[in-house]
Every structure is written in C-alpha cells, then in structure tokens.
Structure 1
C-alpha cells in the first residue's frame, strides 16, 4: 500500500527529500571509495607479479647459461658454478638433470638432493619451455620461475627459482590500510557535508512549500525570498509572479462582487420601495398605481440587463470554447443599425454608415452583434440631441477595422484608461438615467480579445469619442477576399 501524506502534515524524515539527497551523495562517494580501495591495489599487485616473474626468469636464465658448459650435469659441478653467484639467502634455487633428479637445492634444511622434483614448472622446463609466475596469498608474494639448461640443443636439466617475499607484501598491506583510513575519513567528511548541503537545499524547498501553504490559505500578499541564480531562485520568482497575479485577480474579484452587489441592490431597493408604497397607501388611484408598476417594470428590466451581462462576462471568464465561423461584419452592422433606428430617431440622432463589402472575420455572429450593438447604442444614448453617429467598416491589410464615432460630450482624458473596467462609469447619474450598467464596454473588450481582436478609444476632434475595433481578416482557402464597395 502507498502511504499518503496530507498537504498540511509534516513529512517523515524517511520520506524527506533531504534524506534522499544525502543518500545520493553517500552512494556516489561510496562507489568512488570502493573503486579507490580496489583499483590501485589490483594494479600494484599486477605490477609486482610481472616484475617478480620477469626478475626470477632473468636470474634463472643466467644460472642456466652459467651451468650449460658441460655435457653432463652433476651435483659437484652445479654447486661449483652456483655458489660463486651469491644467490644464497635471496631465493631457493633448484637444479635438476634431464630426468628431474635434484642435483642442487640451496635450502639445505629440506635435504631434497637425490630426489625427483615433482613440480609442474620443472616438468614444463624439461620439455623446453620457460615458465614464470607469481601470486599473492597468506600475506606474502610467492614467485617462481623455471628454465631449461640446454647444451648443444639438448635439454640436460633445468633451473628452478622460488621466492617468498613478505616485505613487499607488507608494503602492499600498508597501502591498503592507508587507503582504508583515508576512505574512513572521507566517509565521515562526506556524511557531514551531505547533511549540511542537503539541509541547505531542502531549507529553500521548505521555504517554497511553506509559502505555497500560506497562499493556499488565502494570504495572497505573501512573497518568498530565495536568493541565487539557480533553478530554485527562478522557481521562487515565478511563484512570486503567480501570487502577484492571484492577488490582483482576488482584488478584482472582490471589487467585482462588491460592484455587482451594489448595482443589483439599487434596483432591488427601488422595487422594494415602490411595492411598499403601493401596499402602504390606501385608496391609491389607478393612474398612480399604474405609474408605480411601470417604474417597477423598468427596474426589473434593469435587473435583467445586469444579470444578462454578468452571465456574459462569466462565460468569457470561464474561457468556454466557442465554434468560430467566417462572419460577414457588414451584415451584422446592418442588423444593429436597423435595431437602433427607433432609438436614434426618438433622440434625433442621425446614424451614418460607410460599410465595405467582403470584410470577413472568424468569430460568431452573436459576439460580433454584441460588440457592435454596445458601441453603437452607447454612441446614441450618450450623444447630444441632434447629434451624429458615424460607423465605418473597412479592410486594411490583414485587418478588418470597425470604427464608431459620436458627437457627444466625450470622455475626459483621465477616464479613458478606466472605461473598460467593469462597472466603471464616467457620469454615474447620467449612465443610470440612460439605463447603463457599466458592463457594456468590458464585454466589448473581452469579446474582441476572445476572437483575436483589440479595442482602442480616443477623444474625437471637435467633441465626442471614437472607438476602434480591429480583427484579423479571414480569407477563404486558395485566394484573397478583397474589401471593396463593389
């Protein structure tokens, strides 16, 4: 079964990343130390083996060449040749005849003269082969060499040399012991350093983890300070930027909820006041009651408009994917113009349009209708009596540009950057009187951005405001679609 750790629970040390880092360092160093304790020793042994085998072979060859001066070997002649060479005490030297009978043995204590040498090296040498070998066992080097004694191309005997060396073996043991001592010290140092380094690393990770938990609890203003130029410091920077955005989003959300509550509370309060007036006034005449009911209907319509626009903004905030299709912007603008004609006529506003044909964008007809309707309705509502609204549609390069201008009082320069904020209104009293919610331009901006477009606003020379919406132009496959009046 897999053991799970709750998000707020302290992680056990056996599962901590600190232990994993420390074990990683220790395993790597342990592997290096094992290699350090084996490879040099093996190389040293190999060098000693080769040097001793070569040396004994050379000595045996010298002795063999020295005694190979007579046709038949005897104990007296062999002793007479060997003893002046002064090998006594360094090696054990055996000399045999062609049958393997020992004629000379430098180790007098063994008393092997007159016996047959039952050694594999001697047998190989009597067959004409040179033999040399060395091995390490029982804390000593055991080295041997055997060469044939040849007289006029005939093997008349062999020379066998054996060496038992404990001095070089002890030297090798000392090297091993020194390496082990050094390895032990290195292990202790590595263990301490791995604990320190892993703790320093995990401390930074723990700081990030603690910051994440604090932000999870709603403390969006918390920031983590991790210095350096490595990946953890970059991660900390990304975390701080994320919390910045979360804090901004949370502030926008709270302001949005507050503004929405305030906007909804106003018509609700009006409806409550009007209904209380109807209920508390006895003998109210029919015309007054009808007027109150009409006012209630207007406030209800205002609530409906606010709710619909809030739903529209919620849909865009949730990034719901919509199926985009090629849409003729001119046809959409003509529908909007037809719908707003009664409102414009009522206010004495003249709507002028200059719409090019063939201007296609990839979007939805409802979204384009909403953009155009909001901009053109505002241009009519917030105009002066007898004013004008100019709507233009044209294609410029790879863009389709929609321009809506009015001859109204305009927007103060300091308010231009804020007019796309939700529930922001330049003149709150006039906006409410005109039925505005402060959400239309926010919907325009978000809807245009959802389809790859952008909205800009500027004051118009001579008074009024100019809104401009730019969309990427759509071309059919295999050719261009010109924007012209033809």
Structure 2
C-alpha cells in the first residue's frame, strides 16, 4: 500500500509491537525467576529443618551419655562416644565447661587440647541448645551444640558437624533442571511474544490504515478483521461508521447539487429579466412593471429557500434547544387562523377536531413549523373546493396530530422519498405553488428533534394523510390528564 499523506511512520522503539512483546517477556521472566527461586528456597528450608532436628537429637543423646561421669576427661569421653557409632556420620567434638576440646573425631585437625572458638559452643556452654544449617559450595553444612549437664551444672558441651554433599548434589541437579526448563520456556516465549504481538499490532495497523484512507475521503473503504474479540468488534463499528459517513457524504453531495439547482433557477430568471429590461430601449412601462414584479417574486422564492436551508442547517448542527410544555391545540388554532386567507382564495375548507390537554415538551416555534408546513401543503396541493381535516388527540403515551386533504394524493412509489430534501412529486406544480421541496424535511427533522416521528400515506377516498406522533409530556404526579 502506498504511503498515505500525513501517515507518520512510528519508530520501532515506540511501537505497540515492541511494548506488547516486552510486556509478555517481563511477565514470563518474573514467573521464571519465581520458578527458579521459590522451589529451591523451600527445598533448602526443608533440609535445614530436618538436619537441625536430626543433629540436635543426636547431640542430646551423646550429651546424656557422657553426663554420667562426674568429671570429663579425654579418655572417658572417648570411651562413651565411640561406641555410639556417630563418628562415622558426623564430626563429634566435646569440650569441658571452659571450651577446652577434650575429644574431636576428626583427628586430622589436631584440635584436642585447644579451645573451641565456635559460636555454637559458646552458646551451648551458657546452657542453650543450638542448631544451624547452611547451603554452600553445593553441600549442606549442619551444626548443632548442646550443653552437657550434670546435677544442674554445665560441665561441657557436645558439638556435631555434618557436611552432606549428596543432598546438596540433588538440590544442584534440581536447580540445573529448572534452569534448562527456564531456558526452553524463554526461547518459546520470545518466539510466541513476537508472533502474537505482530499479529495483534497487524490488526491494529489495518484499522489505522483504514482510518487514514477514510480520512482522505475514501468512504467506501472497509476493513476486514476476523475473530470475535474487541478488535473485530471495533472493525465492525468502524465499517458501520464508514457506511454512515458514505451515506452522509452522498446525501451532502446530492443536497449541494439540489440546492445549487434550486438557487440557480430563480437567479437565472432574475438575470434574464434584468437583461431584458436593460437591453430593450423604450420598453413599455407596464411591461417593465411586470418584469420587476416577476423579479420580486423570484427574490421572495430565493428568500424562502434560504430561510428553510438555514432552518435545516440549525437542526443538523444539533444545537441544544430549551423546551417547555406546549399546548399543541393552541398552536394548531393559530396556524389555522394564519391560513384562512390562503384557504379562502382557493375555496378550501379547513375542519379541525382538537382534543384539549394535548401537551408536549418542545418549543412553540418548532410545533408551529410542523403544523404550518403540513396544513399549508394540504391547502396548496388540494383541488378547488376540497377539504382539509386536522385531528389532534391523545392516545396512551402519545400525542397524535393528523392532517388529511382531498387532493390528488401521492403515488405509492414516491411515499418513501417525500421527506428527502428538495424532493417533489410534481416539480412543475410544486414550483407554481411556491414550494421549495424542503418543508417536509423540516417537519421530519423537527419531529425527530423532540422525540417524535412523522408518517405519510394515501387516503382510500383520495388525497394524503400525514400523522405526527409526539411523546406525551408527563407531570410529576403522572401523565397529563
């Protein structure tokens, strides 16, 4: 696709693809760190507990055994300790009450006769049982010290030390396996994160390109995104929006074309009449007066078209209006009085049946506009000696205003179009009657603005029937009676 004007290319470091990929990687990295630490720490803690408990119980056994002698000597300690068989499992170290080493099963260290400078021994000589364990250099190092008590007196201590490389190797193997699993997961996550982020951002990119295309005026463009997630719903909403934009643009172009045509006709007539006056020497004054009168009529027609276009433009802008309770019957009566001269000139009788108490939430000017357009059309497009019937009544939650005439009626094929702007059933007759093709559009848009609707149909006895339905205004105590 060609690069669209104004479509700035986003650097990769600021792209959604990178952000999504980094998000996936960071989350998985946090999970892997937890996977590589928590099980190991739990395993270490379990081993520490078991080792401390074991060494402490063994040290207590040795301490209880050698406590049988009143005075600790190297020979006596050796005689008590070695038969127990612990020296092959642990390093056994026994001191007197001053910390002097009396016995050490590790003969290679040559510690006998020295003082044990160990924290555990110091704590044990003070009467405390001590047990510690640590994991270092791939092995578990466990220590335990208990006091040797004879007649409630501490006469020495027993210190045990164990280095367990087997369980350390097992923990190291667990760590190695976890690292291998983590490495495989990292590679898979990296590949999948790139794949999914690219797939996601590609769909977002399709939407972005579609928006830019539509921004350039290609309202017929549609975007296709498969799936049932939010992005596919967004694509559907976008397509519906472009449908409306395309429809609106077509209506706008047709409206501009129709408006230009409607304005061009009276302007051309005015230009023709003025040229005739200017180019004809010695024109008869009566003819000049007729031409000027025609120019005035065309100017009045231009004024009517301009005023109705302004009315439609104000409604299209959806500017908020201040509404108030309006008695529809009073408005219809006022319109009837205004149309009496026109109806009299055309020998048209106007009959009204107005139910009192029909109140709607609107503006008086808007209701006047609706009633005047419908009743004026019923008079203008009627047959000489015809009738206009205006009925107003309340029906449930609705207020219904019905205007009927005994004219020639509207063909069935034209009924769906009569509310379109500048549409005329009989253009020649409409222009002769001074119509602009905008009155019914104003009626429809004004009714919609106040929550109402208008319909049109042919009468079986001849003529047309227009009906406007408004929501009934509700008072605080309930519907208006």
- Work out whether the TM-score is over 0.5: yes
Deviates more, 1:378-387 or 1:331-340: 331-340
Structure 2 residues without counterparts, runs of 5 or longer = none
Q: Is the alpha carbon distance of 1:58 and 1:371 closer, same or farther for their aligned partners in structure 2, counting shifts above 3 Å?
A: same
What SS is found at the alignment partner of 1:134? strand
Which residue is 1:204 aligned to? Answer: 203
Q: Is the alpha carbon distance of 1:163 and 1:457 closer, same or farther for their aligned partners in structure 2, counting shifts above 3 Å?
A: same
Structure 1 residue ranges (4+ consecutive) displaced by more than 6 angstroms after TM superposition: none
Aligned equivalents of 1:397, 1:423: Cα separation in 2: 35
1:406 aligns with 2:430: no
Q: Is the alpha carbon distance of 1:131 and 1:323 closer, same or farther for their aligned partners in structure 2, counting shifts above 3 Å?
A: closer
Which residue is 2:354 aligned to? Answer: 355
Which residue is 1:221 aligned to? Answer: 220
Aligned equivalents of 1:332, 1:277: Cα separation in 2: 45
Aligned equivalents of 1:238, 1:441: Cα separation in 2: 31
Aligned positions of 1:150-169 closer than 5 A: 150-151=149-150, 155-169=154-168
Aligned equivalents of 2:163, 2:283: Cα separation in 1: 134
1:181 aligns with 2:180: yes
1:371-406 per-residue CA deviation (whole Å, 9 max, x = no partner) reads 111111111111111111112222333332222111
Aligned positions of 1:115-264 closer than 5 A: 115-151=114-150, 155-264=154-263
> How far does residue 212 in structure 1 lie from its aligned partner after superposition?
0.4
Aligned equivalents of 1:265, 1:399: Cα separation in 2: 42
1:272-292 per-residue CA deviation (whole Å, 9 max, x = no partner) reads 222222233333222222222
Q: Is the alpha carbon distance of 1:454 and 1:146 closer, same or farther for their aligned partners in structure 2, counting shifts above 3 Å?
A: same
TM-score by length of 2: 0.93
> How far does residue 369 in structure 1 lie from its aligned partner after superposition?
1.6
Which residue is 1:321 aligned to? Answer: 320
Deviates more, 1:111-120 or 1:10-19: 111-120
> How far does residue 28 in structure 1 lie from its aligned partner after superposition?
0.9
Aligned equivalents of 2:477, 2:88: Cα separation in 1: 104
Which residue is 1:30 aligned to? Answer: 29
1:234-261 per-residue CA deviation (whole Å, 9 max, x = no partner) reads 1111101111111010011111111111
1:336 aligns with 2:341: no
Deviates more, 1:185-194 or 1:428-437: 185-194
Which residue is 1:56 aligned to? Answer: 55
Which residue is 1:3 aligned to? Answer: none
> How far does residue 205 in structure 1 lie from its aligned partner after superposition?
0.3
> How far does residue 89 in structure 1 lie from its aligned partner after superposition?
4.5
What SS is found at the alignment partner of 1:391? strand
Aligned positions of 1:370-385 closer than 5 A: 370-385=369-384
> How far does residue 430 in structure 1 lie from its aligned partner after superposition?
1.1
Aligned equivalents of 1:469, 1:271: Cα separation in 2: 38
1:102 aligns with 2:94: no
Q: Is the alpha carbon distance of 1:391 and 1:33 closer, same or farther for their aligned partners in structure 2, counting shifts above 3 Å?
A: same
1:335-370 per-residue CA deviation (whole Å, 9 max, x = no partner) reads 222222222121111122222333322222222222
Aligned equivalents of 2:471, 2:115: Cα separation in 1: 108
Which residue is 1:300 aligned to? Answer: 299
What SS is found at the alignment partner of 2:436? coil
Aligned positions of 1:384-403 closer than 5 A: 384-403=383-402
> How far does residue 230 in structure 1 lie from its aligned partner after superposition?
0.5
Aligned equivalents of 1:147, 1:20: Cα separation in 2: 59
Aligned equivalents of 2:110, 2:259: Cα separation in 1: 118
Aligned equivalents of 1:404, 1:104: Cα separation in 2: 122
Aligned equivalents of 1:12, 1:410: Cα separation in 2: 66
| Contact 2:101–2:114 (CA under 8 A) maintained in structure 1 | yes
What SS is found at the alignment partner of 2:78? helix
1:472 aligns with 2:471: yes
Which residue is 2:286 aligned to? Answer: 287
Structure 1 residues without counterparts, runs of 5 or longer = 1-5
1:133-174 per-residue CA deviation (whole Å, 9 max, x = no partner) reads 222345543322223334565544432222233443344334
> How far does residue 13 in structure 1 lie from its aligned partner after superposition?
1.1
| Contact 2:422–2:436 (CA under 8 A) maintained in structure 1 | yes
What SS is found at the alignment partner of 1:314? helix
Aligned equivalents of 1:481, 1:118: Cα separation in 2: 102
| Contact 2:454–2:468 (CA under 8 A) maintained in structure 1 | yes
What SS is found at the alignment partner of 1:244? helix
Aligned equivalents of 1:147, 1:338: Cα separation in 2: 118
Aligned pair count reads 477
Aligned equivalents of 1:283, 1:140: Cα separation in 2: 128
> How far does residue 99 in structure 1 lie from its aligned partner after superposition?
4.3
Q: Is the alpha carbon distance of 1:407 and 1:155 closer, same or farther for their aligned partners in structure 2, counting shifts above 3 Å?
A: same
Over the residues paired in the alignment, what is the CA RMSD in angstroms? Answer: 2.2
Which residue is 1:420 aligned to? Answer: 419
> How far does residue 127 in structure 1 lie from its aligned partner after superposition?
4.2
| Contact 2:472–2:479 (CA under 8 A) maintained in structure 1 | no
Q: Is the alpha carbon distance of 1:429 and 1:142 closer, same or farther for their aligned partners in structure 2, counting shifts above 3 Å?
A: same
Which residue is 1:10 aligned to? Answer: 9
Aligned equivalents of 1:80, 1:26: Cα separation in 2: 64
TM-score by length of 1: 0.92
What SS is found at the alignment partner of 2:272? helix
> How far does residue 209 in structure 1 lie from its aligned partner after superposition?
0.4
